[in-house]
Amino acid sequence: MRIDFNQIQEMTMPCGYEGTGEMSARFFAGEGGKLISCRIHPGGSIGLHSHPASDDVNFVLLGTGLAVCDGQEEPLEPGVCHICKKGSEHSIQNTGEGDLVLLTLVVERGEGRENDT
């Protein structure tokens, strides 16, 4: 399967889960999960939230940031992959002067899906 993110409209929105600032993203949803090309703009953060039914895999393409997963701080930089496993909670903050660019894969893994975002 080929997914052309150039053909998916980019949306700019407030960062979620009571985070700060704005982010821009292109979403692809398929059976079993989502693929998201995301840019958290400078000063932005995605607030603390849980993943009761999915793994959330975030691969850093550009920029610097900080993830906090189950209370553990994880510095983010290009080439680093942050994984929030099913049942865990995390937040992501852009700590740099430019966009924090992520490729995110959300893999659904069972019950509780209707509550997992």
Q: Would you say 88 and 68 are in contact if contact means Cβ atoms under 8 Å apart?
A: no
Amino acid at 83: I
Express each pLDDT in 90-116 by its tens digit.
999 999 999 999 999 999 987 654 444
For 5, the token pair is 């993110």
Nearest to 34 by CA among 60, 13, 8, 12: 8
Angle at 90 between CA 26 and CA 81, to 5 degrees: 65
What CATH code is assigned to 32-108?
2.60.120.10
State how beta strands 22-30 and 11-14 pair.
Answer: antiparallel
Q: How far is CA 45 from CA 4, 15, 35, 40, 101, in A?
A: 26, 6, 19, 7, 12
Query: What are the extents of the domains in the chain?
Result: 32-108
**Residue 114, pLDDT score:** 45
> What mean pLDDT do residues 51-77 have?
97
pTM of the model: 0.89
